[in-house]
Chains A and B, each alone.
Chain A
Amino acid sequence: GEDVEQSLFLSVREGDSSVINCTYTDSSSTYLYWYKQEPGAGLQLLTYIFSNMDMKQDQRLTVLLNKKDKHLSLRIADTQTGDSAIYFCAESMGNDKIIFGKGTRLHILP
């Protein structure tokens, strides 16, 4: 079946690293994505990783993929107040269907 799971909430102190985790069930996923949603807005693509990669780094963002465990994580270094948002994990099924998780709300503590 198709399912993407994430924890719903994460609180992190400003300046610390945030790690948002995601698990997915379909091993045929080709691309995995992280989206960010700020209040009252649509989703914005942050980064993606191809399923044959283990890691991708883009400035403060690091994506780790453990294909054996079907586990994806997003690490945000030096978390800032502007990082406060909902983060969605998503997988592309190769049939033009994109499955989203329920989203993790990242709260930044002063």
Chain B
Amino acid sequence: DIVMTQFPDSLAVSLGERATINCKSSRSILYSSNNKNYLAWYQQKPGQPPKLLISWASTREAGVPDRFSGSGSGTDFTLTISSLQAEDVAVYYCQQYYNTPENSFGQGTKLEIK
């Protein structure tokens, strides 16, 4: 199984500042035949289901604000919120969908306002 590890576990950022969440996979999730990284980012607010923000490591879903961006390749990935808004307080998860879904989610990163 591929193990996904996020860091930090929690993060406090001031409003308007940049927030960066990292995700590392235990082996590459870059598929060489199509040059795509099989990595998704989700946002989960209390009492709500997860919301898909980014697929293929860097493709924003429709309607997701452009302050959210994803980057990285191979085994190391980053979710960046360029200017933190109050409504961005949530837990963020990365997920690999490269192969078997067992243990496919990271443990989550809790983002709070400083």
Co-assembled chains A and B = no
Seen from chain A, the residues whose Cβ lies within 8 Å of a Cβ on chain B are none
